[in-house]
Chain A
């Protein structure tokens, strides 16, 4: 597609529930990133995919968070047993190649609210 698409744009869930957030990157971009942004803060790195594999998952806060990119395009961020502290905007970005060489194209984000 022309840009990075994230769905849903908003998600409200109850504490303890499981959620999946989807990212559809720009066609041909091999690198895909997930970031999380809390109100008034800068984006915080979660995970970086190069192709199908997670090249760096050091930003995932705990084992409740998991992400996949099985075919090297669409990625899904999965959060188990959600907590109120998980409430944030989850941003996805893609880049032509990895290695922090090129600028990122960001999606509009998914606003997750855990009640």
Chain B
């Protein structure tokens, strides 16, 4: 089953610009996570946000969560070429494991 749906599917920006990716989900959740995946590599955990939280920051990353709209956003500020990757949101659907969306492919052009 697929819970989260990222939007857009692909995003291309210039270095230094901000990148915003959105995730929508269908059922109630306890936790939502964002992961990054460089081509051909494993996924790297970025941020976990709990259902009672509205915003979290980590370095240049900012994640928001709106449980009333069942949506989350990931903002990367001052993007760099090294941020080029696929980004996935994952939700727990109130269960014991995380369900991943299809991802957003971000390209940061130098």
Contact = CB atoms under 8 A, between A and B. Distances in A.
Interface string A24-46: 00000000010100001111110
Interface residues of B, number: 22
B interface, over-half SS: loop
Contacts, number: 58
Interface string B87-99: 0100010011111
Given A42-B102, A45-B99, A100 B42 contact: no
Main secondary structure of the interface of A (DSSP, over half): loop
Interface stretch (A61-69, A70-78, A80-88, A105-113): A105-113
Sorting the interface of chain A by its residue count into under 10, 10 to 19, 20 to 34 or 35 or more gives 20 to 34
Given A43-B88, A106-B44, A107-B42, A100 B103 contact: no
Nearest to A98: B96
Contacts of A42: 2, 88, 100-103
